[in-house]
Amino acid sequence: MAKVDINQAHPVFKLRLERILADLTSLGWKPRIASLKRSTAEQAEKVKQGYSKTMRSWHVESTVGMLPVGRDRFNQVFGSAADIIDKRYGWAGLAANKDFKFWKDLGRVAKKHGCSWGGDWKIKDVAHVEMHYIEMPTQSTAIA
């Protein structure tokens, strides 16, 4: 597994990742970021292999969402995602169980630091944490 450089993360997300990793470490885990950013081509490959269901992944930097604000305005939403594992287990052995204590701790700690956790999704992605942010002023849907 290639080593993931945390400095590639958006500065706000990086700060939260560092806190999540520190909390997990203090609980006795050996957390490691398994995946951070992907190119559009890498995401397409994940979808093809069945590891991901969507091209609109927050692992992909070009993903942008639109959040309606009232009737005629919207916010552009950006996001970041990371997959975090315990390096002793990865996704195998005890970690193959989605109720494994590490995943539960990861979910709790991620939410404490303002991220959402893939383990809460209908199709569970227990290693996955993400956050969304709005960096630009609200925009009008009217075409100038």
Which is closer to Zn ion, CB of 35 or CB of 75? 35
**CA 14 to the chain's CA centroid:** 11
Bridge partner residues of 77 (DSSP): 65
Min. distance of Cβ 81 from Zn ion in angstroms? 5
> Quick check: 83 binds Zn ion (CB under 5 A)?
yes
Residue nearest Zn ion by beta-carbon distance: 128
Smallest separation, CB 9 to Zn ion (Å): 13
- Nearest-approach distance from CB 47 to Zn ion, in angstroms: 13
- Range list of β-strands (E), 1-144: 31-35, 65-69, 73-86, 116-117, 128-133, 139-140
Distance from chain centroid for Cα 29: 19
37 binds Zn ion (CB under 5 A): no
**Does 128 interact with Zn ion (rule: CB under 5 A)?**
yes
Q: How far is the CB of 142 from Zn ion (least distance, A)?
A: 36
65 has which bridge partners? 77
Question: Which residue is it, tokens 């494994």?
Answer: 100
Q: Does 38 bind Zn ion (CB under 5 A)?
A: no
The site for Zn ion (CB under 5 A) is made up of 81, 83, 128
